[in-house]
């Protein structure tokens, strides 16, 4: 029946309500049938090529209105604000199939604070002391937190123009916290080994009253009116926040809106990213320790480049509340320090359940007191053999040192039969979701880097990643997690090159913890490293071996000569 006939029927009907309803349905049907969207069927046909599909003409015709309805939904969704702290309803589960959670029985970790530490004659020597040594000076009142804080603030003012490692100096807050630490100590309230110790955090972590720039021009004046959980935890233990350190722009590389952060061992080289400021400032003695974040190498890479020790904990170990998200299923927060012992101390202070971060849990952390010979160890033989660089040569040499310590590693290899070239869409899709407003508003155009490998370019292309492929990649990821668990479960520690092969990529996908430690220097005098991989929640074993290794070597005691003139190497 033609539309006019329906109208005539409706107008002559005795049931006015039924007539009006019929009329409304006809109008809606007619509108839908003739509706045109701001894209054509030809656009749909062309767009398929981006994702490797080829639907025929009839299929495209059939899909057209459905795709239009989808787009209307997208447009509606973009009108709703989403808070930065909101995680997706689908949370990443790092536990392989059949995984049994470890018993929650932390042993109450203790670190000895030596009593016979003398106060060095120079501020420079003080700045490079370990956390236990500094704690000894503060606890014995040979050195006040206020003076120690001033030493580090003075070093920032003296050296950071060369390094560009600091975005914001939190001097007013630091001096207030230092004086409070001294006051509490004087009244008999000593909070522990971090009491009065100055530190810095990567500027992805919110601190109320100070900008949180995320290293990117569009956010350089951003003020977040609350403080991240990790900063609150350190504050509760008496630590003193003196600086917000450079993050590469939106957690990418070592370039930020103010320049490029430098490696203190070679000022012609970047500090690597994106925890570039944390690695550089810690290495150069501008802070006693620092916090960084890693999604795909941003703790281990700057730890290597700047010659410090970096721990990337198990996924979900440390709260990310108040920390910029890049990938909800891959981000981790961890410490960068000048030794494995310092790293263990800081990790112990920041890990644990946080109701504000749905990925965290209450699984305890315990120090491992096994001797190196008692640890079950493997090494990635093929990856180490494939590295002919100075980095690889140094690793081979240090593998011999480990054997002399009683380590007897088995050779193993990582699985090869996975679509590794697609897994990074997981990170890129999640980053695209978090920064969608930045892309749609064109604010992404303000970012300093706009080249092929830039964060700006990565965020734009994320809009063209299909949801189906994102989910398929995560299904393959689940299989990879199961395989890696089977490979690692018989070992406490896996020794690996930091960069050679795929271990860095794989372990970030699976959520396993790693620690990167210095192994010497290349021909240019730049630091090299090796990585210890642990089982889920077993940071204790990799830190135990790292500490044992650093007791018989001195690479962790080396400091960049440009920033440590007292060194007698």
Domain ranges of the chain: 1-34, 123-418+456-563
Would you say residue 515 has pLDDT above 60?
Answer: yes
Residue 205 CA to residue 369 CA, distance in Å, equals 33
Cα(461)–Cα(456) distance, rounded to whole angstroms? 9
Q: What is the pTM of this model?
A: 0.91
**pLDDT for 569:** 39
**How confident is the model at residue 535, as a pLDDT?**
98
Averaged pLDDT score across all residues of the chain: 93
Residue 202's φ and ψ, nearest 5 degrees, are: -55, 140
pLDDT at position 27 is 47
Assign 94 a pLDDT band (cuts: 50, 70, 90): very high
Helices (H), 130-194: 131-139, 145-163, 171-186
CATH number of 123-418+456-563: 3.90.1300.10
Q: Taking 80 as the threshold, does the pLDDT of residue 433 lie above it? A: yes
Angle (CA) 212-453-71 rounded to 5° is 80
In this predicted structure, the answer to whether residue 30 has a pLDDT above a threshold of 50 is no
What pLDDT, in 10s, does the model give residues 359-405?
999 999 999 999 999 999 999 999 999 999 999 999 999 999 999 99
Q: Is 118 left (phi over 0), alpha (psi -120 to 50) or beta?
A: beta
Binned at pLDDT 50, 70 and 90, residue 108 comes out as confident
Q: Which 3 state secondary structure label does DSSP give 267? A: strand
How does residue 110 score in pLDDT terms, banded at 50, 70 and 90? confident
Per-residue confidence (pLDDT) for residue 35, from 0 to 100: 61
Alpha carbon separation from 334 to 272, 337, 350, 378 (Å, rounded): 16, 10, 8, 24
Q: Cis ω on the peptide bond leading into residue 82 (within 30° of 0)?
A: no
Work out the average pLDDT over 177-186.
98
Q: What is the mean pLDDT of residues 531-546?
A: 98
Closest CA to 239 of 131, 166, 320, 341: 131
- Per-residue pLDDT at 37: 86
Can you tell me the mean pLDDT for 134-148?
98
What gap in Å lies between CA 486 and CA 550, rounded to an integer?
Answer: 30
- pLDDT exceeds cutoff 70 at 7: no
Q: What is the pLDDT of residue 1?
A: 44
Give the range among 38-42, 423-427, 551-555 with minimum mean pLDDT.
38-42
Mean of pLDDT values over 537-548: 98
C-alpha distances (whole Å) from 335 to each of 245, 291, 441, 444 are: 13, 4, 34, 29
380, 381, 385, 386: CA torsion to nearest 10: -50
With 80 as the cut, is the pLDDT of residue 474 above it?
Answer: yes
Q: What is the pLDDT of residue 18?
A: 53
Query: What confidence tens digit (pLDDT) does each residue in 209-231 have?
Result: 999 999 999 999 999 999 999 99
> How many angstroms separate the Cα of 303 from the Cα of each of 319, 528, 537?
21, 9, 21
- How far apart CA 302 and CA 272 sit, in angstroms, is 5
Q: What percent of the chain has pLDDT over 90?
A: 85
The runs of H, that is alpha helices, within 52-100 are 57-77
């Amino acid at each position: 029946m033609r539309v006019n006939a329906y109208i005539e029927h409706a107008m002559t009907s005795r049931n006015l309500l039924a007539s009006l309803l019929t009329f409304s349905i006809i109008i809606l049907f007619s509108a839908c049938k003739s509706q045109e969207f701001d894209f054509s069927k030809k656009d749909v046909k062309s767009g398929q090529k981006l994702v490797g599909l080829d639907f025929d003409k009839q299929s495209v015709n059939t899909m057209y209105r459905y795709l239009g309805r989808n787009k209307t939904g997208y447009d509606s969704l973009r009108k709703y604000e989403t808070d930065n702290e909101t995680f997706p309803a689908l949370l990443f589960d790092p536990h392989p199939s059949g995984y049994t959670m470890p018993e929650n029985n932390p042993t109450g970790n203790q670190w000895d604070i030596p009593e016979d530490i003398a106060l060095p004659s120079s501020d420079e020597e003080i700045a490079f002391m370990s956390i236990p040594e500094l704690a000894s000076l503060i606890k014995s009142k040979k050195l006040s937190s206020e003076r120690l804080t001033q030493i580090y603030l003075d070093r920032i003012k003296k050296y950071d123009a060369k390094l560009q490692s600091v975005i914001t100096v939190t001097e007013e807050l630091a001096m207030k916290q230092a004086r409070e630490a001294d006051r509490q100590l004087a009244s008999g309230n000593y909070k522990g080994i971090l009491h009065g110790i100055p530190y810095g955090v990567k500027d992805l972590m919110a601190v109320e009253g100070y900008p949180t720039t995320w290293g990117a021009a569009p956010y350089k004046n951003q003020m977040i009116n609350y403080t991240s959980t990790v900063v609150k935890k350190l504050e509760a233990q008496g630590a003193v926040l003196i600086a917000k350190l450079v993050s590469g722009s939106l957690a990418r590389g070592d370039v930020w809106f103010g320049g490029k952060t430098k490696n203190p061992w070679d000022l012609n080289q970047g500090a690597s990213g994106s925890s570039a400021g944390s690695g550089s400032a810690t290495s150069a003695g501008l802070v006693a320790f620092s916090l960084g974040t890693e999604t795909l190498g941003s703790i281990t890479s700057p730890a290597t480049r700047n010659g410090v020790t970096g721990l990337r904990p198990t996924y979900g170990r440390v709260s990310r509340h108040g920390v910029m998200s890049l990938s909800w299923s891959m981000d981790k927060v961890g410490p960068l320090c000048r030794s494995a012992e310092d790293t263990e101390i800081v990790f112990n202070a920041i890990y644990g359940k946080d109701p504000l971060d749905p990925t965290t849990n209450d699984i305890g952390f315990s120090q491992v007191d096994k001797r190196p010979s008692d640890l079950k160890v493997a090494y990635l033989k093929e990856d180490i053999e494939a590295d002919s660089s100075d980095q690889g040569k140094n690793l081979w040499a240090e593998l011999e040192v480990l054997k002399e310590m009683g380590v007897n590693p088995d050779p193993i290899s990582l699985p090869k039969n996975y679509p590794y070239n697609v897994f990074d869409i997981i990170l890129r899709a999640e980053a695209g979701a978090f920064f969608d407003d930045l892309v749609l508003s064109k604010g992404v155009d303000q970012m300093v880097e706009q080249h092929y490998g830039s964060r700006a370019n990565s965020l734009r292309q994320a809009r063209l990643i299909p949801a189906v492929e994102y989910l398929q990649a995560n299904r393959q990821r689940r299989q990879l997690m199961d395989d890696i668990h089977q490979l690692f479960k018989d070992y406490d520690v896996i020794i690996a090159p930091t960069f050679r092969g795929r271990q860095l990529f794989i372990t970030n996908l699976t959520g396993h913890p790693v620690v990167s430690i210095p192994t010497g220097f290349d021909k240019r005098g730049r630091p090299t490293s090796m990585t210890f991989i642990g089982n889920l929640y077993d940071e204790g074993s990799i830190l135990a071996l790292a500490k044992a290794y650093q007791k018989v070597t001195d690479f962790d005691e080396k400091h960049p000569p440009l920033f440590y003139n007292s060194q007698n190497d």
